[in-house]
A and B are shown apart, each in its own frame.
Chain A
Amino acid sequence: MAERKINVIDEIKKASRSVTTGIEEKDIEHWVEIYIMGKAYKVPAALTIMQAMEYAGYRFVRGCGCRAGFCGACSTVYRKKGEYRLQTAMACQTRVEDGMFLVQIPFSPAEKPSYDLGREKPEPSVFLKYFPEIARCVSCNTCTKACPQDLEVMDYIQAALRGDFRAVADGSFDCIQCGLCAIRCPAEIVHYHVAQLGRRMYGKYLNPLEKNAEQRVKEIEEGRFKEEMDRLLKATDEELERIYAEREREPD
């Protein structure tokens, strides 16, 4: 039995080898050619842009973050051979394609205004107060086309102009603040900062504060659970094991 257990872990290890660092070239069947900042590299076809750059020999400092599509660090722009369109992507979430000419955007310069949410009121004018440039939106929709999260970016900027907090908050909720919208915008709007203000205003002022949590904080401050907690801290492990085993699960 013991021997088999070692094998299980070894088998998992073998199965988890990465194509970038763990598999021999001769075992890779499908290849594509990509151009990293204009230089051609032959890379396995099964890789993401990020993995392909690593395979080609790049070690990231910038341009790489969570590697899972949440952080917006790996903004990438590319054109495919023979196509006029400039496309955008997250390098960690996009498979390489033959003939991609690509470059990463390591940093996106953008001013973020300072505000004290407690002193603001949820009035439509708050957007224009901090981001007057949104009035320059020409509705070209380039921001929406650039968004790797497929958000309707222009729509939420228009909503900000109207002062519709809910539409800004809802429409921008999945924003990972990669900055591609702002880099592409001819009106020089920093969409993701506008969205951040909108979401916080909505969360603080327009989404009613929850009552249970408020009540519980008060109860804790009043010491309502103190005795019970003191008891748990002093209990023997056997007692706690029993309480754990006997606890009842609330119904689904």
Chain B
Amino acid sequence: MPELRFIGGYPEYMRESIEVVNRTRPKRMEQPRAMTKEEREEVLKLHPDYAPGGKRKIRIGQNKGDIAPNEVVDLLEAYPLIQPGEIDLGKVDYETDILIIGGGLAGTTAALWANDSGIPKGKILLTNKLRHGDSNSMMAEGGTQAADRPNDSPAIHFIDAYGGGHFTNKRDVLRALVEDAPFIIKWLEGLGAMFDKNEDGYFEEKWGGGTCRKRMHACRDYTGLEELRVIRDEFRSREIPVLEFYPAIELLTDEGGKVVGAILWNMETEEYKVVKAKATILATGGFGRLHIRGFATTNHYGATCDGVVMAYRAGAKLRDTDTVQYHPTGAAFPQQIVGLLLTEKLRSSGAQPVNKRGEAFVFPLEPRDVEASALIRECYVRNNGITTPTGMKGVWLDTPRIDLINGEGYLERSFPGMVRMFKRFGIDMIKDPVLVFPTLHYQNGGVEIDPQARTNVEGLFVAGEVSGGVHGKNRLMGNSTLDCMVFGRRAGIFAAQYVKKGVRVGKLGLNHVERYVKELKEAGIRTDRRSPMLLPDYRGKAVLARMIDIF
């Protein structure tokens, strides 16, 4: 095969279609109309959630009979990493009031608010699987929703999110989300977060898919990074104890079934540590690295569903496990960045999905599941996609249209992260469109919480992507960073309250794990699968085939 010739970062054969996109741009000033309910229902049949296969019933535990993706059920129907008998719980390595597992936006926020609620810093312990801050939070690009403009209200925010969630959100939890939102933005501003503001000092607020008001607060296209590094800096300034490369591998319970800490594991020395805590806040994030249905993902290396697995063994109830969010616009080219996120804010700023013939085929700001399905239909049913050299299909996201609408220089100023990423691979997204295809993005459901971030298990609080209820079966853009901070804060405050009322921690134990193993066996689940997964394995096949474990 002859060497591919590249022009402006793209193989020569793609240029023809790019030229069509560039030529038709001025004719595409009017957007296609939004879909009707019936049209949405029709296209959603192609969504990976609704297309047949890929899911099965959970056979054991609290949610026995519920449906979840095979990849998730595989982890729930798996044996623990440890044998309960081999762990010495007599020696406690850390004794604390509040143990927080996971240091993204939710966990770090929880630590600050627990501290603000009267828990001394030395009685809080934050543990991370990787570095403090390594999380999906810091990859959030587009923004954080908060209904703070005069023509907006928490009620309108509520309706947008409830409709976007297909009327399945847990209403009281969603109420907490929308009512706390303006406070969270103010809190961040007070900590020194740099939100985009216009010349008059007002937030520059943008559209998000599925919203009827502009309420997206952004920090260029580094929103999550800015939010996270600000609150982490505050956390570090307060000198709250933190552990890194110490994932939790199992929760601990006492005789009464309360969660009273966790077993941590040093990823480098492979030694375990026992943490005794009066309250435990789980903020471990989502599951993108399970590559549900074989999809590429936008997610962090550590997004492996660990929290759901551990909480489920401790008896926590899950909800909305049957849906998965695919972000409509992941990178489809070049190969090195396949699956990475191209923020929805690009579309809310004027970028348009366009097929190989230069036609705008969908309203750019449908809810994410609808938008993603429309892209799949364009590529695989209508065959209007562009095929990459590695066989992926995608459609164009017409990014130069952003400057056409907002004026020259806008794209570069507002999306420095995106422009930089493509530039590294020779593509100028200011002049040429970029190729996109849906990518696995978000765990909609998770461990069910109430408005105080409590679960059905005493002593266990949950916040962020690992939780379930607030987004129902589909999350809107800008509600995830918000979720992390609203419920991280609530978890911190209410865990502190719970601790201050007086908690009698009984004998640390792993009875719940033993019970779970018994249940697995009784259900006839024979497998060598073990969980939590901790990290995905991307090593090359050829190496694995010749690897021997002798050291």
Interface residues of A (CB under 8 A from B): 2, 4-6, 8-9, 11-21, 23, 25, 29, 46-48, 51, 54-62, 64-71, 73, 93-95, 112-117, 149-150, 169, 173-174, 176-177, 196-197, 199-204, 207-217, 220, 225, 228-229, 232-233, 237, 240-241, 243-245, 247-250, 252
Contact = CB atoms under 8 A, between A and B. Distances in A.
A211 B197 CA distance: 11
Given A21-B539, A117-B192, A244-B162, A207 B212 contact: no
B172 interface: yes
Contact of B543 (A57, A197, A215): A57
A200 B191 contact: yes
B171 interface: yes
Nearest to A7: B380
Given A212-B148, A233-B172, 19 more contacts: A8-B381, A12-B380, A13-B295, A18-B296, A55-B540, A59-B538, A69-B421, A73-B131, A174-B420, A196-B229, A207-B201, A208-B201, A211-B201, A215-B148, A216-B148, A220-B183, A233-B171, A241-B167, A243-B159
15 contacts: A5-B45, A9-B53, A14-B391, A16-B294, A59-B535, A61-B535, A69-B417, A71-B133, A93-B421, A199-B230, A207-B201, A209-B201, A212-B148, A213-B189, A217-B186
Contact of A250 (B151, B376, B541, B544): B151
A191 B131 CA distance: 19
B421 A13 contact: no
Contacts, number: 282
A210 B381 contact: no
A228 B46 CA distance: 37
B301 A64 contact: yes
Nearest to B203: A210
B139 A94 contact: no
B185 A213 contact: yes
A59 B537 contact: yes
A57 B540 contact: yes
Contact of B159 (A73, A116, A217, A232): A232
A114 B203 contact: no
Nearest to B391: A15
A184 B546 CA distance: 39
A209 B189 contact: yes
Given A62-B245, A199-B192, A240 B301 contact: no
B201 A196 contact: no
Contact of A249 (B133, B212, B416, B417): B212
B268 interface: yes
A16 B296 contact: yes
Most chain-A CB neighbours within 10 Å: which of B163, B172, B220?
B163
Given A65-B300, A213-B148, A232 B48 contact: no
A58 to B, nearest CB: 7
Interface string B179-193: 100110110011111
A5 B51 contact: yes
Interface size class of B (residues with CB under 8 A): 35 or more
A56 B543 CA distance: 7
Nearest first, the 3 closest Cβ-Cβ pairs linking A and B are A200-B192, A13-B294, A244-B163
Interface stretch (B58-66, B336-344, B476-484, B505-513): B336-344
A210 B187 CA distance: 11
Contacts of B193: 200, 203
A209 B191 CA distance: 11
B162 to A, nearest CB: 6
Contact of B150 (A71, A112, A203, A212): A212
Interface of B: 1, 37, 45-46, 48, 51-54, 130-131, 133-134, 136, 138-139, 146-151, 153-156, 158-160, 162-163, 167, 171-172, 175, 179, 182-183, 185-186, 189-195, 197, 201-203, 207, 212-214, 219-220, 222, 224-226, 229-230, 233-234, 236-239, 245, 267-268, 293-296, 298, 300-301, 335-341, 376, 380-381, 390-393, 416-417, 420-421, 424-425, 535, 537-544, 547
A115 B133 CA distance: 19
Contact of A56 (B155, B237, B540): B540
A15 B392 CA distance: 5
A67 B300 contact: yes
B225 A176 contact: yes
A93 B426 CA distance: 12
A195 B316 CA distance: 42
A183 B233 CA distance: 20
A152 to B, nearest CB: 13
Contacts of B225: 70-71, 176
B185 A174 contact: no
Nearest to A235: B171
Contacts of A229: 154-155, 158, 175, 179
B424 A93 contact: yes
Given A16-B295, A250-B212, A70 B540 contact: no
Contact of A225 (B139, B154, B212): B154
Contact of B201 (A95, A210, A233): A210
A37 to B, nearest CB: 16
Contacts of B48: 9, 12
Contacts of A213: 146, 148, 182, 185-186, 189, 203
A18 B294 CA distance: 10
Contacts of A55: 539-540, 543
A15 B212 CA distance: 35
B172 A71 contact: no
B380 A11 contact: yes
Nearest to A113: B237
B539 A59 contact: yes
Contacts of B341: 68
Contact of B336 (A5, A46, A150, A252): A46
Nearest to B418: A69
B191 A117 contact: yes
Nearest to B392: A15
B245 A61 contact: yes
A203 B417 contact: no
Nearest to A69: B421
